[in-house]
Structure 1
């Protein structure tokens, strides 16, 4: 079995992001109120935090990273057989440099899955984002990968639904404020990612600076640093904390809270030469046919809500499918060209 990067080398580094213990939420009463206060502070001040006490064993986390290592170690031909350009649903393998952020190639290779669905048959007037639903692609050489990753995806879905309910309370709404947007199941998207060591000093863009388009993101890291968060103090490193997930809010929560909660720019810096980094990122959004609610915040929160951030190169849409497809088309121009060349109902200048 391949040996993953040892987290021990990171343990002596100072943690610069808040650490929240979900066991406080589960305890109820005053401990739950303490968790909600910490969650609200972390979301407003940084938009990122470590999550412990989530109940997912570290041995299982390591098993997922081991699966990632085994997949990326496959011969290139076997990975290419499940490449994303073959999937109109944006599932499968993306080669090194095959995904773009801000128009520049990211130095990572990755494997994407979502929930398993049958491919939809669209009528002429139906929106193109329905095509984001569909079947995953799976490598024939790793039969254990499919059940393991689908189970893992279900576990992380449940975890993010719990956090979404907590965020509703932070916004002084009913706990079920977002339930109507995920009643048929949230939209789920997961990536196994490998960042190789840089081949030249200037090749440091593992992933360029960006925000995530959904409600919430969970990131599982190995022992190698690389994830960085933009704050008023500059870029802060999300140093790996063994057993913890890194959590950040996405654009849909920013929209729902009218900017009271803000999605935070983040990036991944490539490892130094001779070192690689593995991670698993899980993105949870509302179901694609939902419209994000603009929540009626109480006055004390509404006065602090400055509206969602406006970027003419990255417009935000309250309609979820439109918002998600925009990001997919922009990030994967090869898939866009192969399967969405006649797209309608979305501004292609801002989508690709």
Structure 2
């Protein structure tokens, strides 16, 4: 592929037969060869407004943000200070607000799978009441967009477009983060703190990201050489999660990526949206000729892959938030050994 991050225009998918066929071909090549692409023509026009909301949220007094401290949430939702979330055991140098599906809480009962702890309500900032309706509108629109894109992706693989509808309907386990990456206060700070977000794969189906003009998102290409994703105003950076790699026997790629911390005095803001199956849904191999002929690897000794999404997401949370696991889910901490750093 000459362009490691191709730009796809979603309007082509609704155009002529020739335009749609061209779009599907470019989509299949992108998700097979790199697992990342940029999407324009998607009709979601208020990304700048959402990024401005993120800036305003992180400009609130720290006390207002800490009133939503993620450490107080057994659902792993709320506000995280710098270094709270970890990637591969190393603290990520970003602040964030984690938001999931807004659902009624219910107490866990004996025999419930661990992922049942993720069902409940979000924490919202009392000092910024306008944030909740804006985020909920954004989530609704990106859920619809993600589902449309997922069906197009399956069509590009000559699989039934609705094959995965049953794993997302009626309650996909969406996840949204508002992220703030502040640069170091001084040049030459300890290099252990250069990690904005460490090297990782996403866990579910699709991720749609809007980023400001700062840059810093890097993707592993050409045998783990990292290339920076260009900033295209108004575009979503789209990448695939592990479960699509599992379902396609490695034909589709959940490519490793990272975020480099900005330079001193520079701030980076971004908003990733994760579109995932229901917690209790199990992925099945896609009925696609591309998948049938694929001999890709779907197992990783350092990163167990689970077809049941609830198990896959709990794997990630146990690694990323050891303090929350130790405080609210001691049985998980004991089982996973997650209290080690």
- TM-score clears 0.5: yes
Q: Report the counterpart of residue 328 of structure 2 in structure 1.
A: 339
Q: Report the counterpart of residue 121 of structure 1 in structure 2.
A: 107
Q: Secondary structure at the match of 1:177?
A: coil
In the alignment, is the contact (CA less than 8 A) between 2:53 and 2:131 conserved in 1?
Answer: yes
Q: Report the counterpart of residue 204 of structure 1 in structure 2.
A: 194
Q: Report the counterpart of residue 33 of structure 2 in structure 1.
A: 45
Equivalents in 2 of 1:156, 1:16: separation in Å? 24
1:341 Cα offset (Å): 0.6
Equivalents in 2 of 1:194, 1:122: separation in Å? 33
In the alignment, is the contact (CA less than 8 A) between 1:329 and 1:351 conserved in 2?
Answer: no
1:28 Cα offset (Å): 5.2
Equivalents in 2 of 1:165, 1:296: separation in Å? 13
In the alignment, is the contact (CA less than 8 A) between 1:118 and 1:135 conserved in 2?
Answer: yes
Q: Report the counterpart of residue 296 of structure 2 in structure 1.
A: 306
Bigger mean CA deviation after superposition, 200-209 or 105-114: 200-209
Does residue 173 (structure 1) correspond to residue 159 (structure 2)? The answer is yes
Q: Report the counterpart of residue 84 of structure 1 in structure 2.
A: 70
Equivalents in 2 of 1:351, 1:201: separation in Å? 24
Q: Secondary structure at the match of 2:174?
A: strand
Q: Secondary structure at the match of 1:324?
A: helix
Q: Secondary structure at the match of 1:217?
A: strand
How many residues of Structure 1 are paired with residues of Structure 2 in the alignment?
A: 334
Q: Secondary structure at the match of 2:331?
A: coil
Q: CA RMSD in A?
A: 1.9
Pairs within 5 Å for 1:145-294: 145-199=131-185, 200=189, 202=191, 203-232=193-222, 234-294=225-285
Equivalents in 2 of 1:198, 1:28: separation in Å? 50
1:333 Cα offset (Å): 1.0
Q: Secondary structure at the match of 1:68?
A: helix
Q: Report the counterpart of residue 4 of structure 1 in structure 2.
A: none
Q: Which runs of 4 or more aligned residues in structure 1 lie more than 6 Å from their structure 2 counterparts after TM superposition?
A: none
**Residue 5 of structure 2, aligned match among 6, 17, 32:** 17
In the alignment, is the contact (CA less than 8 A) between 2:208 and 2:236 conserved in 1?
Answer: yes
Q: Secondary structure at the match of 2:140?
A: helix
Where in structure 1 are there 5+ consecutive unaligned residues?
1-14
Q: Secondary structure at the match of 1:281?
A: strand
Equivalents in 1 of 2:253, 2:74: separation in Å? 31
In the alignment, is the contact (CA less than 8 A) between 2:249 and 2:294 conserved in 1?
Answer: no
Equivalents in 2 of 1:79, 1:258: separation in Å? 42
Query: What are the superposed Cα offsets for residues 75-134 of structure 1, whole Å, 9 maximum, x if unpaired?
Result: 111111101111111111000111100000000000010110111222201101011111
Distance 1:184 1:351, change over 3 A: farther
Bigger mean CA deviation after superposition, 289-298 or 213-222: 289-298
Q: Report the counterpart of residue 315 of structure 2 in structure 1.
A: 326
Q: Report the counterpart of residue 3 of structure 1 in structure 2.
A: none
TM-score between the two structures when normalised by the length of structure 1: 0.91
Q: Secondary structure at the match of 1:292?
A: coil
Q: Report the counterpart of residue 130 of structure 2 in structure 1.
A: 144
TM-score between the two structures when normalised by the length of structure 2: 0.94
